[in-house]
Structure 1
Amino acid sequence: MTVPHPPDLPFSQACENNRAPILAVLLQAFADRRQVLEIGSGTGQHGVHFAPRLPHLVWQTSDLAGNHAGIRAWQAAYPAPNLRPPLLLDLASSGWPDGPFDAVFSANTAHIVAWPLVEQLFALAGAHLPAGGVLALYGPFNYGGTYTSDSNRAFDAWLRARDPASGIRHFEDILALAASHGLALEHDHPMPANNRLLVFRRTAMA
């Protein structure tokens, strides 16, 4: 069911559609986490949905400055005591924000930003998450060098026409990148609309 919201709030139908299946995974993946950094909070819809349903942890939003007003507006409309206003985080220039984060969540970022910024996301998570820390990455991925659906093929063409540096990433490339930063794949969850939720855990010896 769509959450009613003031018409001036930024809105993503995709967030509305995928929030329930993502939450079902996060309830387990983040069951023992205490401080989650969301990288690329977008409209802010995910944070306002997840935070009150994960009351044992603090949900810290972050994004480029241009998205902060919308994120704050969503948080004002749907406040939660464990939901934090957005931090400025630009993968092209920002470092790891202050805070003892033991988990990272990022949705629909890997195919939007350029590959060097995907590399930076994993580098930051690998360098700063503690042993046992969790990275959950949501979005579409190719497997074995091929698209998983005709709709993903069309979506990838649209992405690349819009920005040649963007595009659906290969699962195997993501896996190798994660491993290079001490992040081991723990689960690969199928999601609606040909998306996946990849859950990585920081290894103790990396």
Structure 2
Amino acid sequence: MTSSKPFAPACERNQGPILEVLRQYFRDRRRVLEIGSGTGQHAVHFAPAFPNAVWQTSDVAENLPGIRMWLNEAASSNLPAPLTLDVTGNWPHASFDAIFSANSLHIMPWSAVEQFFAGVGRVLEPGGILAVYGPFNYHGTYTSDSNREFDGWLKQRSALSAIRDFEAVDGLAQGIACQLVKDHTMPANNRLLVWRRQIPAPTRSDA
């Protein structure tokens, strides 16, 4: 008996608009890390659009079998086997010039969001792009009634889950030298936040 691939309707709905934005930032990237690949649907949709980049999926161990099903069916040369990655644990001993994550920060406890950015700070190269998709609050205020209802559902599911405040998340990004490039408005009251990691200025030595 064969298992069917996991399927997330939200991925099917949002992958087109997300890809439209990512094309602006990822076209010259060579090594992309996707954090929290979920079902794997985003990866198999995005990777063919960036044939010169390796699109590295990752997630917690229990989600990897489903991701493998999608990757095996896609049989794309730039989609290697997924990595086990819990943001609160060990991160890959590798560097990436782009990182993407969708609908992840509101699922994690805030302490894990902090570890997410700390980990990104270890693996994202200077000049690298960080793109994060999902709902965000601004100045502690919901951007829509549907987001307010979604936040209530999240907190019923787990008291540690919540829609995050943009200002707090941007502060963590700034803490790893990532400067906001653009905050993109997306369908269904979501955002796609894009940061670029600053390149350290060269040190000058007196002759």
TM superposition score category, shorter chain reference:
over 0.9
Give the unaligned 5+ runs of structure 2. Answer: 202-207
The residue aligned with 2:61 is 65
Q: 1:7 and 1:192 mapped to 2: Cα distance?
A: 32
Cα offset, 1:28, TM superposition = 1.2
Does 2:83 match 1:87?
yes
TM-score, length basis structure 1: 0.93
Q: Alpha carbon RMSD of aligned pairs, Å?
A: 1.4
Does 2:189 match 1:189?
no
Instruction: Describe the shift of the 1:149–1:7 C-alpha distance in structure 2 as closer, same or farther (beyond 3 A).
Output: farther
What does 1:95-106 align with in structure 2 at a 5 Å threshold?
95=91, 97-106=92-101
Does 2:193 match 1:198?
yes
The residue aligned with 2:48 is 52
Q: 2:145 and 2:95 mapped to 1: Cα distance?
A: 41
Q: Is the 8 A contact 2:87 2:119 kept in 1?
A: no
**Partner residue of 1:155 out of 150, 158, 182:** 150
TM-score, length basis structure 2: 0.93
**Partner residue of 1:112 out of 101, 107, 110:** 107
Q: 1:118 and 1:153 mapped to 2: Cα distance?
A: 20
Q: Matched residue pairs, number?
A: 200
The sequence identity of aligned pairs, in percent, is 57
The residue aligned with 2:8 is 12
Cα offset, 1:72, TM superposition = 0.3
After TM superposition, where is structure 1 displaced by more than 2 Å over at least 4 residues in a row? none
Cα offset, 1:168, TM superposition = 0.1
2:194 alignment partner, SS class: strand
Q: Is the 8 A contact 1:48 1:79 kept in 2?
A: no
Cα offset, 1:7, TM superposition = 7.6
**Partner residue of 2:139 out of 137, 144, 149:** 144
Give the unaligned 5+ runs of structure 1. Answer: 1-5
Q: 1:201 and 1:55 mapped to 2: Cα distance?
A: 22
